Amino acid sequence: MKEKGRFLKKYRGNECLNCHVPLDVIDRYCHNCGQINTTKKLSFKDFFNEFFASIFSYDSRLRHTVVGLLFRPGMISKDYIEGRRIKYANPFRFYLSVSILFFIISGLFIDFDTIITKNNDQDNQALAVNLSNQDQQKSTTTNDSILKSDNKDDNDYVYFSEKQLDTMDMFTALNKRWKTYKSHYKKTEQLSASIALDSLKHSKNGYTKYLYKRSIRTKNLNENPMELLKFVFNKLPFIIFFFLPFFALTIWIIYIRRPFNYMEHLVFIFHTQTMFFILMGIAILIDQITKSEVASSIAMFIFLFYLYKAMRNFYQQKRAKTIVKFLLVNVLFFILASIGSLITIIGSMFIF
């Protein structure tokens, strides 16, 4: 590599300016702390030369990593765990970078209003078809009864005093308190928890204020579920990141007889999940150009085939065993994803 700028030998000192360790003129970097061995003052030109050099250096690792992921499924993970790492980006950091980029792209192009409007239109069309197949008189009577029932519910006002709640067990009291707060907000639309609790003559503490605010959120979410959908979607990068270690644990159990430790399975998981984000990110962009959802469907099938090939190359097992474990992995992933989604939705109701 040709030396220039601050790397020239004439600027090298005999002592590290950072940690004061003795150095020789042949030392480009301090062998103790890693700082550049130079006495030259930093100039504008030097600063930008080093800046772009670091970008191109990372770009080289980026290129090798992307090419390895695309055309050598599973082998990049095998190289990494066997110590051939210098030309590849760190799998954990690279995963985070790609996932953030993916969710930025999907966030820009996914229209939650359109999704919910489309679902509502489909529900309305289905309802219209069902009503048209029924007797008009019966339909009118049924609708009238439904309206009366709704009006009755609207007029109901649930109230339990603090004294009554104190006589109940914990779970019953929680349920009755929740209904009281929802009913009070429905009638008064009072947003202030303190004012509402004063009106209800309930004790004002962190617990009761929290419950009242949650009851308001729950009612608003029933009327506008898109807000919860957006909230959950924005948290997905972090949710998936913390979910993957549990998935790696299931992979470790499936391949418990193979000579891989937990962290090596986790490297494989991060690489395959990164590939999933790359494929789906490209597919979303193509779908936006073509105004269809064909590319996303194709990308999903490509990823499934990719995952099979990655498992075959990384774990080095025969085709029959790999197919069985591939199916098992997908079933377990679906189960874990369902549990994770349920926990996320329930948790979001309390922190949104």
- DSSP calls for 248-310: HHHHHHHTTTSS--HHHHHHHHHHHHHHHHHHHHHHHHHHHHHTSSHHHHHHHHHHHHHHHHH
Q: What is the average pLDDT across 121-136?
A: 49
Indicate whether 25 pLDDT > 60.
yes
Confidence of residue 123 (pLDDT cuts 50, 70, 90): very low
What is the model's pLDDT at position 26? 84
Looking at every residue in the chain, the average pLDDT score rounds to 77
Indicate whether 147 pLDDT > 50.
no
Asked whether 12 and 25 are in contact (CB, 8 A), the reply is yes
Does 101 fall in a domain?
Answer: yes
Q: What is the average pLDDT across 334-341?
A: 76
Q: What is the average pLDDT across 109-130?
A: 50
Does 284 fall in a domain?
Answer: yes
pLDDT in tens, 7-19: 788 888 888 888 9
Does 160 fall in a domain?
Answer: no
Indicate whether 81 pLDDT > 80.
yes
Which residue has 């503490």 as its token pair?
A: 205
State the Cα–Cα distance between residues 241 and 219, nearest whole angstrom. 31
Does 147 fall in a domain?
Answer: no
State the Cα–Cα distance between residues 270 and 65, nearest whole angstrom. 12
What is the model's pLDDT at position 231? 57
How far is CA 301 from its chain centroid?
21
Does 27 fall in a domain?
Answer: no
Q: Which residues contact 147 (CB under 8 A, 6 or more apart)?
A: none
φ, ψ (nearest 5 deg) of residue 82: -90, 5
State the Cα–Cα distance between residues 197 and 162, nearest whole angstrom. 10
What is the model's pLDDT at position 152? 45
Q: Which residues contact 131 (CB under 8 A, 6 or more apart)?
A: 139
φ, ψ (nearest 5 deg) of residue 233: -60, -40
What is the model's pLDDT at position 275? 92
In terms of phi and psi (left: phi > 0; alpha: psi -120 to 50; beta: otherwise), the region of 160 is beta
State the Cα–Cα distance between residues 282 and 66, nearest whole angstrom. 13
pTM exceeds 0.95, yes or no: no
Indicate whether 262 pLDDT > 60.
yes
Q: Which residue has the higher pLDDT, 123 or 305?
A: 305
Q: Which residues contact 74 (CB under 8 A, 6 or more apart)?
A: 268, 309, 310, 311, 312, 313, 314, 315
Q: What is the average pLDDT across 237-260?
A: 83
Of 102-106, 171-175, 227-231, 296-300, highest mean pLDDT: 296-300
Q: What is the average pLDDT across 235-253?
A: 79
State the Cα–Cα distance between residues 162 and 183, nearest whole angstrom. 15
Tokens of 1: 């590599």
Indicate whether 326 pLDDT > 90.
yes
State the Cα–Cα distance between residues 48 and 281, nearest whole angstrom. 32
Of 4-18, 23-37, 115-129, 294-308, highest mean pLDDT: 294-308
Q: Which residues contact 109 (CB under 8 A, 6 or more apart)?
A: 284, 285, 287, 288
Least confident of 62-76, 93-107, 229-243, 293-307: 229-243
Q: At what angle do helices 44-71 and 262-290 cross, to 10 degrees?
A: 90
Which amino acid does the sequence have at 205? Answer: N
Least confident of 64-78, 148-162, 191-205: 148-162
| Alpha helices in the chain, H assignment, sequence order | 44-71, 75-81, 91-109, 112-132, 136-155, 162-166, 170-188, 193-200, 206-223, 226-254, 262-290, 294-315, 319-351
Does 14 fall in a domain?
Answer: no
Does 293 fall in a domain?
Answer: yes
Least confident of 200-204, 268-272, 334-338: 334-338
State the Cα–Cα distance between residues 306 and 312, nearest whole angstrom. 10
φ, ψ (nearest 5 deg) of residue 29: -130, 155
Does 246 fall in a domain?
Answer: yes
Indicate whether 150 pLDDT > 80.
no
State the Cα–Cα distance between residues 217 and 227, nearest whole angstrom. 10
Q: Which residue has the higher pLDDT, 225 or 338?
A: 338
Domain count, the chain: 1
Asked whether 306 and 330 are in contact (CB, 8 A), the reply is no
Q: Which residue has the higher pLDDT, 44 or 8?
A: 8
Q: Give the residue numbers spanning the domain of 338.
A: 92-111+227-351
